[in-house]
Homo-oligomer: A and B are copies of this chain.
Amino acid sequence: MGDGAARLEGRPTLGSLARELGVSRQTVSNVLNNPELVTESTRRRVLAALEGTGYRPAPGRRVPHTQRPMAIALRLYPAGDGVNGTLMDRFTHRITEYAQQRGYRISLLSARDAADEVRLLSELHHDWAIDAAVLTDTYAGDPRPGLLVQRSIPFVAFGRPWGDEAAAHSWVDVDGRAGTLAATSHLRALGHTRIGYIGPEAPGVCDDRRSGWRDGVAGAGPDPEDLQEVVAFDTARVGAEAARRLQARGATALVCGSDTLAFGAVTALRRAGTTLPVIGFDDTPVARALGISSVAQPVEAAAQRLIDILLSEGPATRPRQVLLEPHLVLRNLEPFVS
């Protein structure tokens, strides 16, 4: 495969293509949308000409009869080493199932970094191997949305364009801040005034979750900064160590930015013979097995909305931006083994 990006510029339109072939715009449109209305020789001639160009209809208006793949690319990230990996597993499963119902397949790709992902998507799109892409794991300064818009590759992002308020592409995300705010508010309603937070600090998802806790503890009493454990890694061991420090500083309840951290915190506290209410994030199988309360993301709904938006978009549609609400799953904080 060559430099797909360069070849993508100056793509022909239905009109320029019709002029080039000496047929009407309507004929080209019929070949793509109502092939039964044109003669076999016209159909073959127009499809052969299309072959050599970059022209293609919007993803939702694809014609199965052209025998082109109807595929949506999705980059697969390495399986995490923690407890949270199941979330993207659920997402991938649902997006595969729902895209298939709508006539599309999910085509996986593996990439070293954002530039590599964009390069691969450009090549695959140019070669007609994919029709569109779903981006996941967006971050502050993410170059991918801008590059894909520039290359006219249809896509929807699962994740907001953090820090880029002017971004004009479609995305679906889950309101993480609302989730940690609901968790913190629940603990305050139970009478807690010293609620600690364990989580990483980073622009985007991490800071968003942390801001929900910060808003939730505002006015509760002590300086929130004292009850915050900013951690570098999302591992159970890190969660365990942070929980012990927060307990020593007088925290009576904990909100965690992930179930991995919550899992470590709960295990450490139980080993120390105490139990504090702990609320995690992502409602993983491990949180369910250990009876840890958690914030649940509607990832299946997100997958479905992404596909709906992707397949309803055309050159004339406006970008759509959807923020879904998570919900709090409350569990007995005693372990299931009574």
Contact = CB atoms under 8 A, between A and B. Distances in A.
Interface of A: 1, 44, 48, 51, 64, 67, 69-71, 76-83, 85-86, 89-90, 92-93, 96-97, 100, 105-110, 124, 127-129, 235-237, 240, 260, 263-264, 267-268, 271, 285-286, 288-290, 335-337
Given A82-B285, A105-B107, A267-B290, 19 more contacts: A67-B127, A70-B129, A71-B107, A71-B129, A76-B93, A77-B93, A79-B93, A81-B288, A83-B289, A85-B89, A105-B124, A105-B129, A106-B108, A107-B107, A235-B289, A240-B336, A264-B337, A267-B335, A271-B337
A79 B89 CA distance: 6
Contact of A105 (B108, B264, B337): B108
A10 to B, nearest CB: 20
B85 A285 contact: yes
Copies in the complex: 2
Contacts of A237: 289, 336
Contact of A109 (B96, B129, B271): B96
Contact of A285 (B1, B81, B100, B240): B81
Nearest to A237: B336
Q: Which of A44, A70, A107 is most buried by chain B, counting CB atoms within 10 A of its CB?
A: A107
A237 to B, nearest CB: 6
A305 B105 CA distance: 25
B96 A76 contact: yes
Contact of A78 (B78, B81, B93): B93
Contacts of A85: 85-86, 89, 285
B80 A285 contact: yes
A79 B90 contact: yes
13 contacts: A79-B93, A82-B285, A83-B285, A96-B109, A97-B110, A235-B289, A236-B289, A236-B336, A240-B336, A264-B337, A267-B335, A268-B337, A271-B337
A67 to B, nearest CB: 6
